[in-house]
């Protein structure tokens, strides 16, 4: 049996109003961690897509990333090899430098020994020549003599080194003693001047005393005042025995440096 439509209209309306008041739509809330994870995934996807497009563009332009990595690895290996080689060469160079320093010192020592031997040889030649003259000396050559006078500049000092050799040719040889008097003539401030032995030797009176039978060497230093220009060196050998005559010699200053 069908109910009439007129009677159902208000009832349906009332039912809908009641339903609207009692029915709620539940929307599930999204968790914050889920949102962050979603953002991260989206960001990674965007970056991966950008990198893919970038790498695709490089490959289209002729760039090979694999070949670039291989070339970079090859360069890194080459750099490591060069550093290793550089260390080896540095060590080898240090060894060579040390060997060269040893050789330099050895050569310097050999040169010094050679110079010493040459000086000793020269002294032996001078002594040999002296004894030959002693044996072959005539009557006029016998007696007290100034054998040689030499000067040498002292490196690093204004002083001048002197070396004086006295001899006597007598048979049988007898002891002779005395002193040498030294003066130096020159110019000081453009005028002639003379330096005494005391000024030259600094008051050392025993520096030029002698006592010998055949020969004797006298050596020391001469001190020249500033501004003095030496010209001639005067030597006078004075034997203590008055029977022996003194010996006087004059030498050019520049000729004594030999």
As a whole number of angstroms, the distance between CA 128 and CA 130 comes to: 5
Residue 155 Ramachandran class (φ > 0 left, ψ -120 to 50 alpha, else beta): beta
Mark whether 168 and 213 lie in a shared domain. yes
Task: Choose the final residue of a domain: 103, 136, 169.
Answer: 136
Residue 69 lies in a domain: no
Q: Percent of the chain scored above 70 by pLDDT?
A: 76
6 domain residue, yes or no = no
Residue 40 included in any domain: no
Instruction: Pick the last residue of a domain from 136, 153, 169.
Output: 136
| Judgement on whether residues 151 and 249 belong to the same structural domain of the protein | yes
- The per-residue pLDDT for 121 is 87
If you average pLDDT over residues 24-40, what whole number do you get?
Answer: 66
CATH number at residue 149: 2.60.40
Q: Does one domain contain both 101 and 166?
A: no
CB 179 within 8 A of CB 238: yes
Q: DSSP secondary structure string, 198-252?
A: HHHHTT-GGGGEEEESSEEEEEEEE---TTEEEEEEEEEEEESSTTSPPEEEEEE
Same domain? For 97 and 155 the reply is: no
Torsion sign across C-alpha atoms 100, 106, 110, 113 = positive
- Does 249 lie in the same domain as 187? yes
192 against 202, higher pLDDT: 192
Number of domains in the chain: 2
Q: Give pLDDT, residue 194.
A: 95
Please tell me whether residues 131 and 195 are part of one structural domain: no
110 within domain boundaries: yes
Does 95 have pLDDT greater than 80?
yes
In a domain, 174, yes or no: yes
pLDDT value at residue 132: 74
Model pLDDT, residue 6: 43
Assigned domain for 183 exists: yes
Q: Is the pLDDT of residue 13 over 50?
A: no
Same domain as 157, residue 81: no
SS3 179: strand
Top pLDDT among 140 and 35 is at: 35
Q: What is the DSSP string of 101-164?
A: HHHHHHHHHHHHHHHHHHHHHHHHHHHHHHHHHHHH--TTT-SEEEEEEEEEEPTTSS-EEEEE
Q: What is the span of the domain harbouring residue 124? A: 77-136
**Residue 3: inside a domain:** no
CB within 8 Å of 181: residues ≥ 6 apart: 197, 208, 235, 236, 238
Give the separation between CA 247 and CA 239, rounded to whole angstroms: 9
Residue 158 sits in the same domain as residue 200: yes
Residue 24 lies in a domain: no
């Amino acid at each position: 049996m069908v109910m009439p439509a007129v009677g159902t209209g208000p009832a349906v309306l009332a039912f809908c109003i009641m339903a609207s008041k009692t029915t709620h739509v539940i929307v599930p809330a999204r968790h914050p961690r889920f949102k962050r994870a979603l953002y991260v995934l989206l960001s990674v996807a965007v970056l991966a897509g950008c990198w893919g497009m970038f790498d695709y563009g490089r490959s289209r332009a002729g760039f090979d990333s694999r070949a670039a990595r291989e070339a970079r690895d090859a360069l890194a290996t080459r750099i490591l090899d060069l550093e290793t080689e550089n260390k080896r060469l540095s060590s080898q160079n240090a060894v060579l430098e040390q060997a060269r320093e040893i050789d330099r010192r050895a050569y310097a020592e050999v040169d010094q020994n050679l110079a010493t031997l040459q000086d000793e040889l020269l002294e032996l030649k001078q002594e040999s020549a002296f004894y030959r003259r002693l044996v072959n000396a005539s009557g006029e050559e016998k007696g007290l003599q100034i054998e040689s006078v030499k000067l040498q500049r002292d490196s690093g000092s204004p002083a001048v080194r002197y070396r004086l050799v006295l001899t006597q040719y007598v048979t049988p040889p007898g002891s002779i003693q005395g002193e040498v008097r030294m003066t130096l003539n020159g110019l000081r401030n453009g005028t002639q001047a003379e330096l005494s032995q005391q000024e030259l030797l600094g008051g050392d009176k025993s520096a030029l005393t002698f006592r010998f039978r055949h020969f004797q060497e006298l050596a020391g230093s001469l001190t020249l005042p500033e501004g003095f220009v030496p010209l001639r060196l005067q030597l006078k050998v004075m034997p203590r025995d008055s029977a022996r005559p003194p010996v006087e010699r004059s030498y050019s200053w520049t000729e004594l440096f030999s």
